[in-house]
């Protein structure tokens, strides 16, 4: 399947979902992206506590919102 066909199929799947299902997908993707960011932060700051990792993550999200 070529990329355009795959994208169209994914769009069709999203359109067939209820609003609640689409919201769940969005929240799951958000949590996945936060976990990936946390992993990167831990790699950059191996000495950081869990609270420090969360603080840095919140700072990065705030910066991204301002840009």
pLDDT mean for each 10 residues of the chain (67 residues): 94 96 97 98 98 98 94
Query: Where are the chain's structural domains?
Result: 19-66
Q: What's the pTM value of the predicted model, to 2 decimals? A: 0.78
Taking the C-alpha atoms of residue 55 and residue 49, their distance in angstroms, rounded to an integer, is: 10
26-40, pLDDT tens digit by residue?
Answer: 999 999 999 999 999
- Name the packing angle between helices 19-44 and 50-66 (round to 10°): 120
Q: What share of the chain is helix, strand, coil (3-state, %, to 5)?
A: 85, 0, 15
Number of Cβ within a 10 Å radius of residue 51: 8
In 3D, which of 1, 61, 55, 52 has the Cα closest to residue 31? 61
């Amino acid at each position: 399947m070529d990329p355009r066909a795959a994208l169209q199929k994914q769009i069709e799947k999203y359109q067939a979902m209820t609003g609640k299902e689409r919201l769940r997908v969005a929240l799951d993707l958000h949590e996945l992206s936060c976990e990936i960011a946390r992993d990167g932060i831990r790699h950059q700051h191996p000495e950081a506590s869990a609270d420090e990792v969360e603080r840095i993550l919140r700072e990065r999200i705030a910066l991204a919102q301002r840009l």
